[in-house]
């Protein structure tokens, strides 16, 4: 296994989705509760102010084993999360962090194992 990739699409999130300081607290808590190590501070930027339907913050938190990213929709109350790491992590803990900070478990999620084919597998297929 190269890595785990968790995607979570959440509806009915609370007002924390529109507050940069709340998003920063979420990033710190997520890193701690899934036993990762942050690589620098989170990058939190508000995008699409000219399009209210799409406006919201985007989060990128690098971790030593990859990244945590998210987009928060001001208008719809939706939030979209990605956690990718080449180190295993507790999916239930990650889901709990999202619910704790954004007040909703109205979600769909998927966790897949990521693994590129080995060079010998590619050569055998040719």
Provide the CATH number for the domain around residue 16: 3.60.90.10
Q: Which residues pair with 85 in a beta bridge?
A: 4, 66
Q: Which residues contact 74 (CB under 8 A, 6 or more apart)?
A: 17, 18, 52, 55, 56
CA 115 to CA 118: how far, in whole Å? 9
Full domain range(s) for residue 76? 3-125
**What DSSP character marks residue 14?**
-
Digits of tens for pLDDT over the chain (126 positions)? 889 999 999 999 999 999 999 999 999 999 999 999 999 999 999 997 678 888 999 999 999 999 999 999 999 999 999 999 999 999 999 999 999 999 999 999 999 999 999 877 666 666
Q: How many domains in the chain?
A: 1
pLDDT at 8 (0 to 100): 98
Q: Are 97 and 33 in contact (CB under 8 A)?
A: yes
pTM for the model:
0.91
pLDDT at 123 (0 to 100): 61
Place of tokens 């999360």: 81
């Amino acid at each position: 296994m190269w890595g785990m990739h968790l995607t979570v699409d959440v509806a009915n999130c609370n007002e924390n989705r529109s507050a940069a300081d709340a998003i920063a607290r979420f990033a710190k808590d997520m890193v701690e509760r899934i036993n990762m190590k942050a690589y620098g501070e989170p990058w939190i930027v508000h995008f699409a102010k000219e399009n209210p339907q799409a406006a919201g913050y985007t989060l990128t938190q690098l971790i030593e084993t990859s990244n945590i990213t998210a987009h928060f929709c001001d208008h719809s109350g939706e939030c979209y999360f990605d956690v990718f790491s080449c180190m295993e992590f507790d999916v239930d803990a990650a889901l709990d962090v999202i619910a704790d900070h954004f007040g909703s478990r109205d979600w769909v999620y998927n966790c897949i194992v990521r693994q590129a084919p080995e060079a010998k597998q590619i050569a055998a297929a040719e």
